[in-house]
Structure 1
Amino acid sequence: MTEAHPVAATFVKNAVLRGAQLIVADPRKHPLADHASLHVPIRVGSDIAFINALMHVLIKEDLYDKAFVNSCTVDFDKLKEKVMEYPPERAADICGVSPDMIRDAARRLASVKPVMLCYTLGITEHTCGRNNVLSTANLQMLLGNMGVECGGVNPLRGQNNVQGACDMGALPNVFPGYQPVTSADARAKFEDAWGVENLPDKNGLMIPQMMEGLVDGKVRAFYIFGENLANTEPDIRKVEHELASAEFLVCQDIFPNETTRFAHVVFPAAAWSENDGTFTNSERRVSRVRTASKAPGQAMPNWWIFKQIAKRMGQDWASDSARELWDNEISVLAPQLCGIKYRRLEGDGLQWPCPDEDHPGTCFLHKEGQFTCGLGVFTPVEWTPPAEVPDEEYPFVLSTGRRLAHYHTRTQTGRCEGLNDILGEETADISPFDAADMKIGHGDMIRVSSRRGEVQVKANVTDQVPKGMVWMAFHFRDACANWLTNPAFDPVTLTAEYKACAVRIEK
């Protein structure tokens, strides 16, 4: 959190200063661990085994919230049967921490209410990412920490408006407001609103499927909106082959980047500070974005570009501003946004669901254990190892993430001299044990290789990283971790396993 979500991390650190306990479960001893009453350095990819063992202890020692479980959930017996297979002694072998540390963590979690559970992309960017998320929900329901303020499961998203993009229907299976494309009623509603017929009744493709479709011809045209796929997707050589195979590729972005090199058409877009609109954050808070400066050159607002393309396809869309889009379309078509109008978005914004214009917004979800689906469903899951684990040829595990000074692929922060002064190149973080063993000094050039590629990068010898692990970011093109990462995906979400692949290092 301190590197990827520094503002949110500040709230956590302030809570610790006011007396809150903090447990950090992470392979690295990153700066937030310095504020923790307990740091649990689990191995990369062992999250499910660890959480199952926590729940094993909570149930065996009768520390879970029986009242909440009995009145607000179903399938507890299925969960119990599964987690009984994960005593701390078994989980300790998988996680690389002691059974006593697992018991200590479980007892601390049960000792206070509420407990807030936060995670960043270290939970989702695995081949078992969906199951990792289910595990966190299982744990919080078992502890009775759902439906209360400062409780729940809080995913800290990868970018500032991920939540807002999903709310608007930028997903392959839903219309705006999470209305399924498979629903005949939803399709009829949007066909009427949009003046079209025969909207698709099947879920669309996800990014890996789209990319592979460029090669085999199943996808003939590809429109990339505000994304630098040539640096962010795993196995860059594979990605560049896919992009180069596109019959027709359009990019819409605020700067040229590694991906626009492959485009047949580039639309220059106005940046977030050059446009009116809204962002929605991880707590579902819709906030206004106001124009701070005029867009340069031919750059135009994104909605305007889309509207012009639609016009050339025979559709004359009525809304002619961000405000009109929100008030006349978005808030009309998405039930949880119906009460949010532009005039109500002064000050601190509003949190959905907000069903009508008299509604104050919803501070937290699942109040009094009332879940969207009725009762909360325990979903037991089995631990599975990463798709690629260290072996004799590639004996280290590479995990990837972000560094505080830069944002994503530096399309924005890389143009800022001050930030480049703070961090001007990538490093590979390795442990003092491995450095001594391989006679690598801090700042020495090393080669990090995987089955997909190699990079040359300076070694950063740090006790933040455990023995056997290498940690890198993806901010710098030449030493981007994604030359190395494995294009293995969660079977349901198709999220890539950025957090685990096998590498070797050489001086």
Structure 2
Amino acid sequence: MTNSIDELDLMGTGNAIFAIGTNTTECHPIIGLGMMKAAQRGAKLIIADPRAITLTQHADVWLRLKPGTDVALLNGLAHVLITEGLADEKFIAERTEGYEEFRASAMRYTPAYAETITTVPAELIYKAARIIGTARTTATYYTMGITQHTSGVDNVRSVANIAMLTGNMGKALTGVNPLRGQNNVQGSCDMGTLPDVFPGYQKVRLPEVREKFSKAWEIELSETTGLTIPEVLHEIEHGNVKGLFVFGENPMRSDPDINHVKHCLEAVDFLVVQDIFLTETAELADVVLPGATFAEKDGTFSSTERRVQLIRKAIDPIGNSKADWQILAELIKRMGIKTKYNSPEDIFNEMRALTPSYGGITYSRLENEKLQWPCPSEDHKGTPVLHVDKFVRGKGSFFAADYKEPAELPDADFPLVLTTGRVTAHYHTGTMTRRCWGLDGLRPEEMLEINPADAKRFGIEDNGYVVVTSRRGELRARAQVTERVPEGLTFITFHFSESPGNILTNSATDPETGTPEFKVCAVKVRAGSAEKHPAKPYNINNVSA
């Protein structure tokens, strides 16, 4: 996030919130509550989402776009902002570059043309753009509804275009604010768990960066960029990846096209899984290393707003489990590499010495201060708002993006679109929440949302069982006949082992990031039997009605 979560508490009349591709009240309930309270105080709320999520009930404008058409919608908004004189010309001239090329592209996306792609009525595009352009401040929020597409990078850049076009960057109550999907995704990325960077987003390809880390770690580091997750699976199939270490992840439920994932994990020569429970992925492993939960270890988390938070263990690790850092340090040592870590603080201090954005953050400061990176020195107060005087790259770059269709569209054989997401009761693949009696009781089984017109067309009854099939696999779930989804669209989660939503999804990815297109694939639905699901996850290759 460029800005801070608590800015929502300051929003009211004269401010605006633009939330696109984010079911915030379900996936980030505290932030979602903040948005609704801001709307109650008079802030204008613009929601772009195909489904009738909770936030749409509070919205001043609901842009109910066709899944995968975000670029066309955002270009349509940009067209109105430019043609009606609502762009911040001073900000554009002083703080940005590439505007003329972007402007020429956006001018082709009249609201009438955008409507033909998105199905959003042109008058609503005008109304939303005028709110964004006339509000004192507009803060933009997005999540995986923007990124999990084959056009994900174009989507994100188009979101940034709107913020720069209106000068809503570098000051309070504005910004481009991606909400991270899990509690330490931001911290993991900060620490270099991306294939092309070391900690602090320092590029592997830069010789001076490699030299710095090679010297600190006393080992020669490669200039070769690593593989994305889809590339790892591809290379397993081609015999180029022989071993795989899965750490705190459950790709047998969280990755698309699970049958393909299963094939790859069974094919790899050596699979190690480090996790707190025996997940579906861990069940396939040659070795399982039992890690510790958050309550059993010390360390730091970095939240979605770049806030670094100190945690202390409440209990010692149970059984043979160990804190993750201890497991990794022992592995490194046994591989012949010197280690000098005696505590998480030792690791943190090494990291901050090598990572300028964390340089001024210390454990002692975190005891009493609220710090957000970048915090380059110990007398620095942290950075609640990014890009105040200038962008990190100097000038912000506009990007001219054109609408591209999703990789898989409905046809005669698979006539419906499926999109995926979450519900409040469950977290990610359900590894933890489905072991909690109260949470599992709130949502004990999978529900496929389907529009009443489609339900009638395919003979589906509300609360009856259905079989959902894509080109990659099929599952059984209950039907929830609802106008929450428009005609032609269905919705499912990926929380349930006995109904794994990602057995259906498409593994097509964004060409730049390798992020799969979880949000759009083609399916068909038919009525199934009332036979109960097996108590234990079934063989995912064999589903019968």
Distance, in Å, in 2 between the alignment partners of 1:150 and 1:298 is 47
State the identity %. 45
Contact 1:336/1:352 (<8 A) preserved? yes
Distance, in Å, in 1 between the alignment partners of 2:286 and 2:370 is 39
Q: Give the letter for the 1:316 counterpart.
A: K
Give 5+ residue unaligned stretches, structure 2. Answer: 1-23, 528-545
Distance, in Å, in 2 between the alignment partners of 1:97 and 1:195 is 57
* Counterpart check, 1:345 vs 2:366: yes
Q: Report what 2:538 is aligned to.
A: none
* Counterpart check, 1:463 vs 2:463: no
Aligned with residue 391 of structure 2, among 345, 365, 371: 371
* Counterpart check, 1:26 vs 2:46: no
* Counterpart check, 1:240 vs 2:224: no
Residue deviations 1:196-228, cap 9 Å, x none?
A: 12x111211111111122222100111000000
Distance, in Å, in 1 between the alignment partners of 2:314 and 2:426 is 22
Contact 1:172/1:204 (<8 A) preserved? yes
Distance, in Å, in 1 between the alignment partners of 2:182 and 2:347 is 23
Distance, in Å, in 2 between the alignment partners of 1:314 and 1:48 is 49
Distance, in Å, in 1 between the alignment partners of 2:315 and 2:234 is 39
Q: Give the letter for the 2:245 counterpart.
A: Y
Contact 1:287/1:348 (<8 A) preserved? no
Aligned with residue 231 of structure 1, among 253, 257, 264: 253
Q: Report what 1:207 is aligned to.
A: 229
Residue deviations 1:142-200, cap 9 Å, x none?
A: 01001011211100112111110011111111111111110110111111100112x11
The SS at the match of 2:27 is coil
Q: Give the letter for the 1:495 counterpart.
A: T
* Counterpart check, 1:7 vs 2:30: yes
Q: Give the letter for the 1:188 counterpart.
A: E
Distance, in Å, in 1 between the alignment partners of 2:46 and 2:177 is 15
The SS at the match of 2:477 is strand
The SS at the match of 2:25 is coil
Shift of 1:315: 2.2
Give 5+ residue unaligned stretches, structure 1. Answer: none
Contact 1:54/1:105 (<8 A) preserved? yes
Shift of 1:463: 1.8
Q: Give the letter for the 2:259 counterpart.
A: R
Distance, in Å, in 1 between the alignment partners of 2:336 and 2:120 is 62
The SS at the match of 1:43 is coil
Contact 2:78/2:162 (<8 A) preserved? yes
Q: Report what 1:109 is aligned to.
A: 132
Distance, in Å, in 2 between the alignment partners of 1:425 and 1:293 is 32
Distance, in Å, in 1 between the alignment partners of 2:368 and 2:128 is 39
Contact 1:426/1:476 (<8 A) preserved? yes
Shift of 1:263: 0.8
Residue deviations 1:236-292, cap 9 Å, x none?
A: 110000000010111000000100111111100011111001111111110011112
Shift of 1:437: 3.2
The SS at the match of 1:209 is helix
The SS at the match of 1:135 is helix
Contact 1:234/1:483 (<8 A) preserved? yes
Shift of 1:17: 1.6
* Counterpart check, 1:64 vs 2:84: no
The SS at the match of 2:240 is coil
Distance, in Å, in 1 between the alignment partners of 2:450 and 2:188 is 36
Aligned with residue 142 of structure 1, among 165, 177, 183: 165
Shift of 1:458: 0.7
Distance, in Å, in 2 between the alignment partners of 1:96 and 1:107 is 19
TM-score, normalised to structure 2's length?
A: 0.91
Distance, in Å, in 2 between the alignment partners of 1:436 and 1:245 is 43
Contact 2:459/2:526 (<8 A) preserved? no
Distance, in Å, in 1 between the alignment partners of 2:116 and 2:280 is 42
Give every structure 1 segment of 4 or more consecutive aligned residues whose post-TM-superposition deviation is greater than 4 Å: none
Distance, in Å, in 2 between the alignment partners of 1:466 and 1:117 is 25
Describe how 1:286-365 pairs up with structure 2 within 5 A. 286-327=308-349, 329-347=350-368, 349-365=370-386
Aligned with residue 506 of structure 2, among 472, 477, 486: 486
Contact 2:300/2:308 (<8 A) preserved? yes
Aligned with residue 241 of structure 2, among 219, 230, 239: 219
Q: Give the letter for the 1:82 counterpart.
A: S
Residue deviations 1:13-64, cap 9 Å, x none?
A: 1111211111100000111111111111011001000000100111111111
Q: Report what 2:12 is aligned to.
A: none
Q: Report what 1:181 is aligned to.
A: 204
Contact 1:113/1:145 (<8 A) preserved? no
Distance, in Å, in 1 between the alignment partners of 2:452 and 2:369 is 46
Distance, in Å, in 2 between the alignment partners of 1:225 and 1:190 is 22
State the Cα RMSD in Å. Answer: 1.0
Contact 2:450/2:480 (<8 A) preserved? yes
